Structure formats: structure tokens, C-alpha cells
Amino acid sequence: MYLWGNFGPYVTSYYHNLGDPNAHPKTAVAVIPTCISLLAVWNPVGVWLMKKMPIKAILTIGCLIMLGSIYISSFMKSWWPFYIIYAFGFPTGIGLVYSIPVILGWEWFPENKGLVSGLIIGAYGFGAFIFSFVTTALANPNNESVDPVTKFFSENVTKNNRHMFDVLIVCYSVLAIIAV
């Protein structure tokens, strides 16, 4: 979710280069608040499910929703279908699993809840930091700039979107398997 600020311009440029006038920075900024809002909706559901289901089942379901939304959205050929699948599916999956490591950490280290929370939430942000370098290297390996007139990346950059999403899905899948 936090990675959108890095790869969002590549995705928006991709749909712009496909000829979709809806793909614009003015519509792309809606991804983050949509994701944060839905994360806030699904987060308590994940916590509630911890009392009803095995934790591994919740992690599996959440990770599959998250991975599936990235995978399916990456095949969309216009902006709004991409936005709906990515910005609604991704935070749903993440929201289901977001608090599980924090709560488990509190159970293991009840005297250090602040430290545990900080380390886990910090790790989420650190992941976005690391993957920002990965997505940039994949999407824009020659470090091209946006066109000064259109403010979009060229097709030479956006043709790498598919590969970027494929690599992210593989990396996230490995991390999800380790988590489960």
C-alpha cells in the first residue's frame, strides 16, 4: 500500500499510454486514501476472525486476496477496473492480516508491547522502502524522467509494468508463505 507513491506514476503512465484519459495523477491520488480506509475497515475483521479461526487460515485467506488483487489488476486494460480491483482488493487482504503479528507479539512479549508494535509496524514501512528500489529498478531501469509536457512516462518505461507486477507477486508470495 505504501509503495503506491513509488510505482503509481508508472501504472498511471501505462494506462495513459494505452489511451485511457481517466489515468491521471488526479485520479491516482485516490488509491492511498481508498486503501487506508479499507484497511481500517478490514483490520478489526481480521482481529475478530482470530477468535473464530486458526491464524494460519486467516493469513492464507488475507494473503490470497492481496496477491490475487495485484495479479488480476495487473491484467486490466483501463484505469478504473485496475483501480477498483487493486484499491479495494489489496487493502482487504492486507487488512485481514495487518494486526495479527502485532497481537501475537504482544502475547509473546507482554512487557514490551510498545517496542513490539513499533518494530512490526516499522517493518511494514521498511518493506515499502526496500521495494521502492526494486520497483524503480524493474519499471524504470534507465532512470528516465517523465515527459516535461505530459508529465507521464514514455511507453519505453511503462512496457515494464507487467514484469514489475510479476516480480512483486513472486516476492510477496514468498513472504506470504514464510508468514503463514
User: What is the domain partition of the chain in residue ranges?
Assistant: 4-179
Measured distance CA(107)–CA(57) in Å, rounded: 19
pLDDT at 124: 85
pLDDT at 2: 80
C-alpha cell, 117? 508494535
Instruction: Provide the percentage of residues in the chain whose pLDDT is more than 70.
Output: 100
Concatenated DSSP letters of 113-137: HHHHHHHHHHHHHHHHHHHHHHHHH
Determine the CATH number of domain 4-179.
1.20.1250.20
Average pLDDT of the chain is 93
Contact 94, 41 (CB under 8 A): no
Please identify which residue in the block is written with the cell numbers 526496500.
Answer: 130
Count CB atoms within 10 A of the CB of residue 35.
21
pLDDT digits (tens, 9 = 90+) for 94-150: 999 999 999 999 999 999 999 999 999 999 889 889 999 999 999 999 999 999 998
